[in-house]
Amino acid sequence: MEDAYARSVSEVLDFFGVDSSKGLTDFQVSQHARLYDKNVLPEEERTPFWKLVFKQFDDLLVKILIAAALVSFLLALINGETGLIAFLEPSVILMILAANAAVGVITETNAEKALEELRAYQADIATVLRNGCFSILPATELVPGDIVEVSVGCKIPADMRMIEMLSGQLRVDQAILTGESSSVEKDLESTIATNAVYQDKTNILFSGTVVVAGRARAVVIGVGANTAMGSIRDSMLRTDDEATPLKKKLDEFGTFLAKVIAGICVLVWIVNIGHFRDPAHGGFLRGAIHYFKIAVALAVAAIPEGLPAVVTTCLALGTKRMARLNAIVRSLPSVETLGCTTVICSDKTGTLTTNMMSVSKICVVHSIKNGPEVAEFGVSGTTYAPEGFIFDNTGVQLEFPAQLPCLLHIAMCSALCNESLLQYNPDKGNYEKIGESTEVALRVLAEKVGLPGFDSMPSALNMLSKHERASYCNHYWENQFKKVSVLEFSRDRKMMSVLCNHKQMEIMFSKGAPESIISRCTNILCNNDGSTIPIDATLRAELDSRFNSFAGKETLRCLALALKIMPMGQQTLSFDDEKDLTFIGLVGMLDPPREEVRNAMISCMTAGIRVIVVTGDNKSTAESVCRKIGAFDHLVDYVGHSYTAAEFEELPGTQQTMALQRMALLTRVEPSHKRMLVEALQNQNEVVAMTGDGVNDAPALKKADIGIAMGSGTAVAKSASDMVLADDNFATIVAAVAEGRAIYNNTKQFIRYMISSNIGEVVCIFVAAVLGIPDTLAPVQLLWVNLVTDGLPATAIGFNKPDSDVMKAKPRKVSEAVVSGWLFFRYLVIGAYVGLATVAGFIWWFIYSETGPKLPYTELMNFDTCPTRETTYPCSIFEDRHPSTVAMTVLVVVEMFNALNNLSENQSLLVIPPWSNLWLVASIILTMLLHILILYVPPLSTLFSVTSLSWNEWAVILYLSFPVIIIDEVLKFFSRNSHGIRFNFRFRRYDALPKKELRDK
């Protein structure tokens, strides 16, 4: 029954055919059980493990690598190779792919935990009326139409419509659905609101919420999947995980690279068709296989096998740095996503505010000698910690607040007319509440006012332990005044009273809604001398004016406090006693904004990131908070920038699009609205970060490009998120965005480094094939270079220091290519030099080396006909390991110099020297030591087909390698000047990562 909130109690009972005094009969229960589903959230269909594994290999580059590994293994067998040599290359490739697949499977398995944890919010038992008798049954056995009784502490077992109130009031904590910390008062009246949200349905008890005050009966209207909790589950199931911008760019790069690789491989094979019949191969088929093997080596050279591992390592390093900022990353790719975030949809309560009610204003009557003189006091401190001061209206701190009569009696009333507790939690290191947040705020106020009669009061209190300090003043008043009787808060009176005995004097303290308290007051307490005077119409009007100012303009939650001297010996209170009260004062409280949020907001605006505050709170309160935190600083007025969810939904399509581009605040939202907002923004190609802490936020957190849960939030929200804020602080998000941008810049640098290195390897093999000289590098040597000598420096590049102006740039566009335009040209030039230098080292050994054969160049080009003609040298010279060792070492050393080029995209090494990143220097040293190890340790040198080198050969290697520094310095100079910019436009169409629509709408 979807519209039960709009129906009367009798209509709802008639719909289910149930008698409220007897409940359902056994026949009706079985009938309803057949008509409606069980009261459990259905098990979601899990993705089979084998499907998760195969999904990780659904990538073009991965498929090419698998094919290259299989072909390499088959060719080794055809050539008669056995043992370690035949299996080494394919085994290493498959091990890398298996490791990457394992990371992917673990990540996807974690994402499904959110749905499991949703079940923790379902109630276990329920008190049910059936066949005229109450019994306690498992909550899973409930059916629509059941009459259920709930009381304080009960978890609501299903969605239910209130039918009978069994106490003065019923209050329910709906934070898991609405995100708002204040409990909601429930009633029996039907709701006439159109497009009613959860907060408007005051007669509905929602599954999973908790009763915090009162007792009532209700009829079940929805079970299992047909509850508010069920709709959250369905929304989460409908949400597919979006690929991160970097993942999309790498996928595009993979597709582009695959096409290039295929083209070059086919080209190399076709260019050498004329050599298939060369006698050295022993036949046309063997010649074809030989050049096919070269094409496979080319594929291995072109694919950066170490790229996934290096990306993962760099992101993992980023997560460690972010953890120190209190941002705990659950999903590695989200580290990079933060860098291109364009919109942050932030929850208000607990993220922008402290989620701790705090008294900020006090209003008392000072004197009426020269007409009504009202005094206002400010209160500092925004948490439950009893730390703060009282200030007068000029901003001067009061040294002894308790010496002022009104403030003293406000402290008494706050401590005594109160049913909450304030305590210190040593494990968490903070003060915690038990009970209503408004009552705890009054307890904290009593602590800030202090005690009268002690000149050393402030310093004396500070000497107490935090456990003792939590409620020291409150306990003092509770010991001075013995509570005799209590009149609980009720909806019709809107107030609470407590009768206390103090030194054989009976005093009643009352607190409640200002309109209720002020109307019952006949006297007023003056703050200047403690006198009590009659209240007149002028004074009453002045108090009403101050109350309207507090509640209206300043959107404070107001309570009025009063007292009454009672007859001696009175032991009970009645509603008739709550009249002829003496007004003490008015307190205004709010959930205060965090102090650091304003600066964080300014940082967002400077960085081109828009913040949309999303809250279940009412519009006026939320607008007040937004004014305080600076979210509206850039706006002249709020029209077109502040909407309720209902107002936004009523807008026509085109106006909704316009509203999304200007929106700064969305209020009165429920879970479906948050998810809708994320989808709408993503449809406008925005990269959306969404914050949340409740179960209600889980669908939106899962749908957002990056979901950010609060550390104090629910397990469901944390499981659905990509990142958790340990300190629940919006400012931490901004710090994490800055870190994300820095990580992306470093990621971009090492991707470019690896690409330019791989271009060099491709050029090397391609040029060698075109020139018709022997194979320059063996596939196993290429694999060593790609994985070890490329991987270590690339990872170290991730430690480059962030730019000082990282948060002054606008967010990068998700369509921005990782390597494009002028940069692609730069790295093409560098890659070409790397490849040509490698080939040059190979040719040098044959033609010029003192230890080489000193062959004419024509002999080298005709090496394959050596067995068929007479030569002055043995043909075995072409099997010598020296030339490929020189070539491989040139490739390694030139890439080490190229790694230094990547300390910065455009800054010279003279400005950013190598020692600015000691990790990179260390990785280069380690890489060279590993390379020397395989050259000079016999088992390894045999495995990699290399040999030891002489000093003369090392000198030539350095001469061939160092110019890569000079070439890149020249290119960087052009980048820093207008010439580089013109090149950027000239080469724009040759993007290494072709631009296309990122989202399949």
Distance CA 475, CA 481 (A): 10
Of 173, 347, 591, 705, catalytic: 347
Residue 871 clears pLDDT 70, i.e. is over it: yes
Domain coverage including residue 966 = 752-980
Which amino acid belongs to residue 617?
D
Mean pLDDT of 391-398: 90
Angle at 831 between CA 825 and CA 836, to 5 degrees: 125
pLDDT digits 0-9 by tens, 745-760: 777 777 778 778 878 8
Phi-psi sector, 190: left (phi>0), alpha (psi -120 to 50), beta: beta
Residue 438 clears pLDDT 80, i.e. is over it: yes
Closest by CA to 431, choosing from 468, 460, 402, 462, is: 468
Residue 981, pLDDT score: 44
278 occurs within a structural domain:
no
Residue 147 clears pLDDT 90, i.e. is over it: yes
pLDDT digits 0-9 by tens, 520-561: 999 999 998 899 999 988 899 999 999 988 888 787 889 999
Residues 837 and 899 in one domain: yes
Q: Which of 210, 238, 266 is the last residue of a domain?
A: 238
280 occurs within a structural domain:
no
pLDDT digits 0-9 by tens, 3-30: 888 889 999 999 999 998 999 999 999 9
Q: Residue 214: which residues within 8 A CB-CB, separation 6 or more?
A: 151, 152, 165, 166, 167, 168, 169, 170, 171, 186
Residue 797, pLDDT score: 82
Structure confidence at residue 963 as a pLDDT band (50, 70, 90): very high
Distance CA 137, CA 154 (A): 14
302 occurs within a structural domain:
no
Angle at 273 between CA 268 and CA 274, to 5 degrees: 125
Residues 140 and 204 in one domain: yes
Residue 870, pLDDT score: 75
Closest by CA to 90, choosing from 305, 327, 269, 295, is: 305
349 occurs within a structural domain:
yes
The three-state secondary structure class of 100 is: helix
Residues 658 and 769 in one domain: no
Residue 846 belongs to a domain with what CATH number? 1.20.1110.10
SS3 content of the chain, % helix, strand, coil (to 5): 50, 15, 30
Structure confidence at residue 112 as a pLDDT band (50, 70, 90): very low
Residues 615 and 576 in one domain: no
Residue 162 clears pLDDT 90, i.e. is over it: yes
Residues 20 and 103 in one domain: yes
Residues 413 and 511 in one domain: yes
**By the 8 A CB rule, do 377 and 383 touch?**
no
Residue 448 clears pLDDT 60, i.e. is over it: yes
Residue 436 clears pLDDT 90, i.e. is over it: no
Mean pLDDT of 583-608: 87
Domain count, the chain: 4
Mean pLDDT, the chain, integer: 81
Residue 985, pLDDT score: 37
739 versus 684: the higher-pLDDT residue is: 684
Let me know how many helices (H) and strands (E) the chain has, helices first.
37, 29
Residue 163 clears pLDDT 70, i.e. is over it: yes
Residue 404, pLDDT score: 93
Residues 679 and 784 in one domain: no
Residue 991, pLDDT score: 34
Residue 640 belongs to a domain with what CATH number? 3.40.50.1000
256 occurs within a structural domain:
no
pTM for this prediction: 0.63
**By the 8 A CB rule, do 207 and 161 touch?**
no
241 is catalytic: no
CA distances in angstroms from 630 to 308, 595, 619, 625, 958, listed in the order given: 41, 11, 16, 9, 58
Residue 221 belongs to a domain with what CATH number? 2.70.150.10
Structure confidence at residue 993 as a pLDDT band (50, 70, 90): very low
865 occurs within a structural domain:
yes
**By the 8 A CB rule, do 155 and 123 touch?**
yes
812 occurs within a structural domain:
yes
Residues 437 and 414 in one domain: yes
Residue 354, pLDDT score: 79
Structure confidence at residue 39 as a pLDDT band (50, 70, 90): confident
Q: Which of 179, 209, 238 is the last residue of a domain?
A: 238
Residues 580 and 613 in one domain: no
Residues 616 and 527 in one domain: no
233 versus 301: the higher-pLDDT residue is: 233
Phi-psi sector, 1000: left (phi>0), alpha (psi -120 to 50), beta: beta
Phi, psi of 185 (to 5 degrees): -85, 130
Residue 489 belongs to a domain with what CATH number? 3.40.1110.10
Distance CA 772, CA 768 (A): 6
Residue 83, pLDDT score: 57
504 occurs within a structural domain:
yes
Distance CA 431, CA 429 (A): 7
Q: Which of 219, 238, 257 is the last residue of a domain?
A: 238
Residues 366 and 381 in one domain: yes
> Which 3-state string (H, E, C) describes 346-411?
EEHHHHHECCCCEEEEEEEEEECECECEEEEEEECCCCCCCCCCEECCCCCECCCHHHCHHHHHHH
Residues 607 and 652 in one domain: yes
Distance CA 612, CA 351 (A): 13
